[in-house]
Amino acid sequence: MKKNIILLIFLAFTNIIANDISTYEIMFDELKTRREGLDQKQIFLLKDPFNFISEKKDSKKPNQEFVKYKLTGILSNKAKINGNWYFVNEQIDDYKIIGIKESSVMLRDKDKILELKLNEGNKNVKITYK
């Protein structure tokens, strides 16, 4: 009786395995069929997928100049610009500091007025004391 049960289990497993093998044979037959690819002309017309150089767009306005001053801190009536502390009415190159606000500094030269803003993303810090 044990031999019959073992034989029955063996036949059941071979049937399951045979079904799996036949599905894999169908998949391999599909892979064996010749696929049409691109010809040489079409390959040369493709863009290089590994070349990530993008076209540079001029996002600046034509009259906009590069500002070389960076405001990194404001404390009471002092402003830290390019690593140095300045007071109102002090000179920075051609510019004079005309005002220090809570989060910005106003600079003026002969022709124009610049406003430097204190930006640290969402981490703007206010320091108050009594």
By residue range, what is the domain housing residue 88? Answer: 71-117
Averaged confidence pLDDT in the chain = 80
Number of domains in the chain: 1
Q: How far, CA to CA in Å, does 109 sit from each of 4, 39, 52, 79, 116?
A: 104, 64, 42, 18, 14
- The reply to whether 3 falls in a domain is no
Closest CA to 84 of 54, 7, 51, 92: 92
High-pLDDT (> 70) share of the chain, %: 80
- The reply to whether 33 falls in a domain is no
pLDDT of residue 75: 87
| Per-residue pLDDT tens digits for 35-91 | 788 888 888 888 877 877 666 665 555 555 556 888 888 888 899 998 899 999 999
CB proximity list for 68: less than 8 A, separation 6 or greater: 82
pLDDT of residue 40: 85
- The reply to whether 15 falls in a domain is no
Give the C-alpha separation, 114 to 70, whole Å. Answer: 12
pLDDT band at residue 108 under the 50/70/90 scheme: very high
- The reply to whether 6 falls in a domain is no
- The reply to whether 36 falls in a domain is no
- The reply to whether 128 falls in a domain is no
- The reply to whether 57 falls in a domain is no
Answer whether residue 20 shows pLDDT above 60. Answer: yes
DSSP 69: -
- The reply to whether 93 falls in a domain is yes
Residue type, 102: E
CB–CB of 106/113 below 8 Å?
A: yes
